[in-house]
Each structure stands twice: as structure tokens, then as C-alpha cells.
Amino acid sequence: MTDQKDICLSGSGLTKVFGYGRQTCCAVDHVDFKFYEGEVVSIVGESGSGKTTLAKMLLGLINPTAGDIYFQGKKRDISTYKKKQEYWKSIQAIFQDPYCSYNIFRKIDAVLLDCIHMRGGRRLPHAKKVEMMVEACSFVNLKFEELTNKYPFELSGGQMQRLMIARIFLLRPKILLADEPTSMIDACSRATILDMLMQLRDEIDMTPIFITHDIGLAYYISDTVYIMEQGKFVESGSADEVILHPKEAYTQRLISDVPKIYEEWDLSTV
């Protein structure tokens, strides 16, 4: 395989507990992980397993109750809002529902301009900004001239999700957290989105982390898979290892419960 890569994001003992007193809910329970640069990671879990909470903690949108996160080897410090804004230059996200990800009152030009400004391009001449936006849109097979001055709800779901990818193209983060990026997209358009994300990885040298409940998707696209159950990582390893030769009982059950078409789908284990 490849040489020893650098660790871009890792965590130890990461925990998040909601509520206080007697009514507590432990969403993420002492989780350890190491994500290497350039490798495609998937965190697979069913709903309620805590994967969305973990994603928000990695993004810095929620503060952990305990544990540390290390970014590029150093302990992550996002105690002030300014530090958070600095951190967000290196890590970005794509969310599940393209219809909810946009502010419906702002035109899509504003969304792309925000990205240019975040990378320090506020003083650039307008023509240069437009050039950058055209380039970003063409990367995702959209035409900027057709989209300019439109509101998000005038686009289709697939177009909106691709625009999210264009946004990432402009932002060039080191890490991308994709939270169920294709669950609300038609099956026929899924491959397009996934291909674009992989192209983006090669283009800007980015580490994508997928959060999903779809094991098939995780198997298809990732190098490393983490299986999450009730706030804990129960198994992790390369995609082939975890999915074709699962060791833990939970993982085995999870894999066997997914309908297969090439192999026999065993219904007796219900």
C-alpha cells in the first residue's frame, strides 16, 4: 500500500454527554480515532449511533464534554470565535439535505462570494472573483451564467448539492466532512456526486470523511471504515476487512441485514 502518511485528524477519549443531573444521554462515548491525510474515511452507523454528534464535534460546532482532538498533530484549540474561524479554513462540511443547507433569502452568488472572502479574496477585483466562481461551477458541471442571480430554491436537488461541492472547491479545506451527501439524491445522480468528490480530493489534496448509514456506499468509496454503535467505535479497519470479513458481532449482523443481489441474502437470521 502507501507509505506512512501523516495524521491529519485524530482524537482520544472524545466524549459528549447531553443533559444534566439524572437525565443524561451519552451520545459519543470515549471514542479514539486516527484519520490519515488523503485517505477516504467512512463512519458508518445507524440513526442514533452518535455519528452526527461526532461530526459536529470534529467540525467544532459542538464542544466536547471530555477528550481531545488533535489537528495535524497539535492539540486543537478553538476556545475563541476567532480561533474557530481560523480552524474552519481547514475543515468544511457538506450536509445531507441540500434544500435546508442554503439561506433561502440569499442568492447563490453570495454563497460563492462568501467562500472567496473567507480565503482572503475580499479585495480582489470583481472580474477575478467572477472568474473564480465560473471555474468552480464548471468543475461541477454547472454553468455559472445560468445560475447567477438565482435563488437556491430555483435549482434542483442535484444542482444544489453540486453547488455545495463547488463551494468546497473554492474553499480548499484540508478535511471535508460529508454528512450523508447522497441520501437525498436520486440514485442515478449519486455516482456524479461521488465522482466529483473524489476528483476534488485529487485536485485540492483533501481528506474526505463520509458519515453515512449506507454500508454499500461506505464499501464502495472508502479506504478506511469505522463502525459506530451507540456512541462507540466497535470496529475499524480497511473497507475490505471490515465489510467482507467483519470480526465483531454487531458488524456481522449489520452487514448481513443489508439486502444483497449477487450473494444470497439470508433472511433466517432475523
Partner 1 sequence: MRYMIQQVFRSPKFLFGFAIFMAMLLTVIIYPLFVTGNPLEIIGQGTFFPPGIYVNVYDSINTEPYILNLDDAAANRIASTLGDEERLAMQEWLVAYGIPEDEIDIADTEKLLGKWENNYDPEIVVTGMTNAKRNYYIRLDASLEGLLAIEGAIIAESNLQTGALEQKDFVEQTDYVNVTEVPNVRVLPLGTDNFGRDVLPELVSATGTSLLIGFVAGITATGIGLVLGLLGGYIGGLVDDITMFFINLFTVIPGFVLLILISYSIGQEKRGAVTIAVVIGITSWVWTARAVRAQVVSLRNRDHVNLSKLSGHSIVHIILSDILPYIASYVVMALILQISLGILAEAGLSILGLGPRTTEVPTLGLMMNWAMIYQAQILGKWWAYFPVVITIALISFSMNLMNTGLDQVFNPALRD
Partner 2 sequence: MSRVMLEVKELTTKYITRYKEDIYAVDHVSLKVEEGKSLGIAGESGCGKSTLALSLMGYYFPPLYYTSGEIIINGRNISGLDPDDVRRSILGTEIAYIPQSAMNALNPTQKIIRFIEDVIQAHDPKITRKEIYEIARERFEILGLPAEVLQKYSVELSGGMKQRTVIATSVILSPKVLIADEPSSALDVTSQKMVIKMLLDLMDKGIIKSMIFITHELPLLYNVTDDIMVMYAGQIVEQGNAKEAVFDPLHPYARGLMGSIIVPESGLRDVKLASIPGVPPNLKDPPAGCQFAERCKYVVPGCTAHSVDFHELEGGRAYRCIFSEEELREAYKND
Binding site for partner 1 (CB under 8 A): 56, 59, 61, 81, 84-85, 88-89, 92-93, 95-97, 100-106, 111, 114-115, 117-118
Burial class of 161 by CB neighbour count within 10 A (0 to 12, 13 to 18, 19+) = buried
Q: Can residue 254 be called a binding residue for partner 2 (CB under 8 A)?
A: yes
Q: Which stretch, 56-64, 66-74, 105-113, 218-226, contacts partner 2 (CB under 8 A)?
A: 218-226
User: Residues with Cβ < 8 Å from 230, sequence gap 6 or more?
Assistant: 29, 48, 49, 50
Q: What does 207 interact with, of partner 2, partner 1, none (CB < 5 to 8 A by kind)?
A: none
Q: Can residue 197 be called a binding residue for partner 2 (CB under 8 A)?
A: no
- Could you say which DSSP state residue 153 is in? G
Cell digits for 89?
Answer: 479554513
Least Cβ distance, residue 8 to partner 1 (angstroms): 17
Binding residue for partner 2 (CB under 8 A) from 117, 214, 232, 241?
Answer: 214
Whether residue 90 contacts residue 71, with contact meaning beta carbons closer than 8 Å, is answered with: yes
User: Residues with Cβ < 8 Å from 28, sequence gap 6 or more?
Assistant: 14, 15, 16, 50, 53, 54, 57, 64, 231
Whether residue 119 contacts residue 174, with contact meaning beta carbons closer than 8 Å, is answered with: no
Task: Count interface residues toward partner 2 (CB under 8 A).
Answer: 39
Cell digits for 259?
Answer: 439486502
Least Cβ distance, residue 83 to partner 2 (angstroms): 37
Least Cβ distance, residue 107 to partner 2 (angstroms): 21
- List contacts with partner 2 (CB under 8 A): 46-47, 141, 156, 158, 186-192, 194-195, 213-220, 239-240, 243-244, 253-255, 257-263, 265, 267, 270
